[in-house]
Amino acid sequence: MGKWIWIFMFCMSIMISSCSSESQTQQVELTQEDHFPYEIKMLNQKDGWAYRTHVKEELALRYTTNGAQNWHHTEIEEAYLLHAKVYILSEETVYILTSQNQLIRTNDRGVTWKIESLPPVKGNAQLSWIDGSNGWLMDVYDTGLHYSSADMYTTSNGGESWTLLSSTSQSTSGLTSDGFKTNLSFKDTLKGWVSGNVVTDQIPWLYATTDGGSKWEKQYLENPVSQMKELTSFTVHNPQIFSDTMIVSVEYKCETFICIDFFKKQIEGSIWTYIHTFKLSPQSEQSTVTIQFLNQNEGWLSDLHAIYHTVDGGMSWDLMYKTNEYMISNLQFTENQIGWMVAGNNKIQNLYTSMDQGETWIKESVQIQ
């Protein structure tokens, strides 16, 4: 009798495992008539923006006011969008840094645009804004795999004028040429961070300022259980900043996996605490990982074919959704846990929404106007 009970329990476990896997794998519908080749930035349940910068296309910047069902065009020359960086501040305000290093902005949802001034940019500029007036510009130049020079500027009038704060050429700034700098983020007029690609056989880091960008110092991100001693390329992602806490992730190759170390710290502190290492099978030679936290506990992680969810600050991750057929190119959740995903293949992409933290997705029949 004991033998048959064991066999019954074994078969039931296989059935349960199969059902669980099936619930996580969903083949979403893909249609040409709902082609949606845009990146999206939803600000809340109803308002958001969609843009396309890698292809020259008329009406490449749009907005929605009804939860991504209808998308309205903005009056902007298509040349401004080609290879540009788009910074969305609110339902009304958007800054665009063009590939020709022109800064333009709208404060009325794209009805009118104004060209702002920029400092003399030598290389690749990155911006960070905390509101429509206060912003920072990091000009990165003389770059290499292990290093980059940078000048840091600030504005308090929306870009009408800029002031040089610090530079890697200034020995007293604390901002050195170490690391390839790609990310800039500020929480307020005093606290900010610079991160990017770090190649080292020691501990990766990011730069931090507490005086608005004049002085910088390295903050180290140490994984106490890591056994890595060889030269490694670490990608330090942009910190996710909340009211009193921050989370940052560090991505690197470990054996046959993509490893992602998660760290957290108090805003006012300088020591980062290691949380957990999450391992993924690589989907391509380039990084395909995107990470978004809504708060210090809840977040989502996606690669090309799967979405994971955490409710404990990155200590553990649950597989919410998996697709073997299509590629996930854009994922975002808002505070009410409604999610938006752009997925498809090389020819067609569609927009999908989720109401259950990313477990199931429904294709939107979007109206492009």
**Spatial separation of the C-alpha atoms in residues 152 and 162, rounded to whole Å:** 10
Q: Tokens 């110092």 label which residue?
A: 217
Paired tokens of 187? 């929480």
Residue for token digits 């606290």?
A: 191
Tell me the per-residue pLDDT of 252-302, one tens digit each, with 9 for 90 and over. 998 888 999 999 999 999 999 999 999 998 766 666 899 999 999 999 999
| Residue 92 pLDDT class (50, 70, 90 cuts) | very high
* 334-346 pLDDT, tens digit each: 987 899 999 999 8
Instruction: Output the six-digit token pair for 363.
Output: 């294709």
Structural domain includes residue 5: no
CA distances to 5, 31, 66, 127 from 71, rounded to whole Å, are 58, 18, 9, 26
Q: Quickly list H helices, the chain.
A: 2-24, 78-81
> Would you say residue 154 has pLDDT above 90?
yes
Cut 0.85: pTM above it: yes
Long-range contacts: 337-345, Cβ < 8 Å, 24+?
337/294, 337/298, 338/45, 338/67, 339/300, 340/40, 340/42, 340/48, 340/68, 341/307, 342/36, 342/38, 342/39, 342/40, 343/28, 343/30, 344/30, 345/30
pLDDT digits (tens, 9 = 90+) for 186-224: 999 999 999 999 998 889 999 999 999 999 999 999 998
In this structure, is residue 195 part of a structural domain? Answer: yes
Whether residue 49 contacts residue 40, with contact meaning beta carbons closer than 8 Å, is answered with: yes
In a domain, 22, yes or no: no
In terms of Cα–Cα distance, which of 182, 166, 165, 163 is closest to 174?
166
- Examine residue 88 and state whether it is found in any structural domain, yes or no: yes
Q: Is residue 69 one of the residues assigned to a domain?
A: yes
- What φ, ψ does residue 301 adopt, rounded to 5°? -130, 135
Tell me the residue range of the domain where 192 lies: 55-368
Question: Contact at 8 Å (CB) between 295 and 264?
Answer: no
In the chain, what are the helix, strand and coil shares in percent, each to the nearest 5? 10, 45, 50
157-186 confidence digits (pLDDT tens):
999 999 999 999 999 999 999 999 999 999
Q: In this structure, is residue 10 part of a structural domain?
A: no
Q: Which two tokens stand for residue 304?
A: 């090309």
pLDDT given for residue 287 in this prediction: 65
Rounded Cα distance between 98 and 108, Å, is: 19
Determine, yes or no, domain membership for 234.
yes
Tell me if residue 22 falls in helix, strand or coil.
helix
The torsion region of residue 6 among left (phi > 0), alpha (psi -120 to 50) and beta comes to alpha
Long-range contacts of 171-175 (CB under 8 A, 24+ apart): 172/215, 173/214, 173/215, 173/216, 174/207, 174/215, 174/216, 174/217, 174/218, 175/150, 175/207, 175/216
Assigned domain for 97 exists: yes
| Number of domain units in the chain | 1
CATH number at residue 105: 2.130.10.10
Task: Note the pLDDT of residue 34.
Answer: 86
